[in-house]
């Protein structure tokens, strides 16, 4: 069974090759400064009182009576981050837990954070269902798609693997 995590959903929107490589455990992520910063942010969060909550294949940063809150270090790929959060709302909704998504972006070297609200409406549910089928098709392919240069490649953990 293909297990689709929040990261898999996020990567699918950023780059299909990245999604495939990550899912198939081609793990080069330790070399990436961006991923390193993400892990530090994650550790800071984990040391606070809001520890991660695991629901099926996804890990939530924080859930309140009203919101599921997801923290990101960059708004470089906002659509991917929003879809990751929408997917969390989708998983929770199937369990009868309805929440609004709140995406908090804390940029490196910046004090302020920006907040984006994500709503799981019928249109979003249909989109997620369609995307889940597409992800399953992609991940069961024998080989990854060929690399295509895009914004964010230089910060991607697979950059050297793809282009050098």
- Residue 101: CB minimum distance to ligand SF4, A: 24
Q: Supply the angle between the helices 122-139 and 16-23 in degrees, to the nearest 10.
A: 60
How far is the C-alpha of 26 from the C-alpha of 30, rounded, in Å? 11
- Which one of 23, 88, 90, 159 is in contact with ligand SF4 (CB under 6 A)? 159
**Is residue 8 a contact point for ligand SF4 (CB under 6 A)?**
no
Nearer Cβ to ligand SF4 (67/161): 161
Shortest-Cβ-distance residue relative to ligand SF4: 156
**Is residue 158 a contact point for ligand SF4 (CB under 6 A)?**
yes
- Which one of 10, 18, 32, 84 is in contact with ligand SF4 (CB under 6 A)? 18
How far is the C-alpha of 84 from the C-alpha of 44, rounded, in Å? 21
Is 132 within 8 Å of 139 (Cβ atoms)? no
Separation of CA 95 from chain center: 20
How far is the C-alpha of 114 from the C-alpha of 81, rounded, in Å? 13
- Residues at the interface with ligand SF4 (CB under 6 A): 15, 17-18, 21, 147-148, 150, 152-153, 156, 158-159, 162
């Amino acid at each position: 069974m293909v297990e689709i995590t929040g990261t898999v959903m996020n990567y699918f929107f950023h780059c299909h090759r990245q999604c495939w490589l990550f899912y198939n455990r081609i793990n080069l992520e330790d070399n990436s400064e961006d991923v390193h910063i993400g892990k530090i942010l994650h550790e800071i969060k984990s040391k606070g009182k809001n520890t991660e909550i695991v629901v099926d294949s996804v890990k939530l940063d924080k859930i309140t009576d009203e919101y599921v809150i997801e923290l990101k270090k960059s708004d470089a790929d906002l659509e991917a981050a929003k879809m990751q959060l929408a997917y969390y709302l989708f998983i929770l909704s199937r369990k009868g837990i309805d929440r609004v998504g709140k995406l908090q972006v804390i940029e490196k070297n910046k004090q302020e954070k920006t907040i984006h609200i994500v709503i799981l409406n019928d249109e979003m549910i249909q989109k997620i269902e369609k995307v889940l089928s597409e992800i399953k098709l992609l991940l069961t392919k024998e080989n990854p798609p060929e690399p295509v240069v895009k914004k964010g490649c230089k910060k991607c953990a697979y950059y050297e693997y793809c282009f050098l």
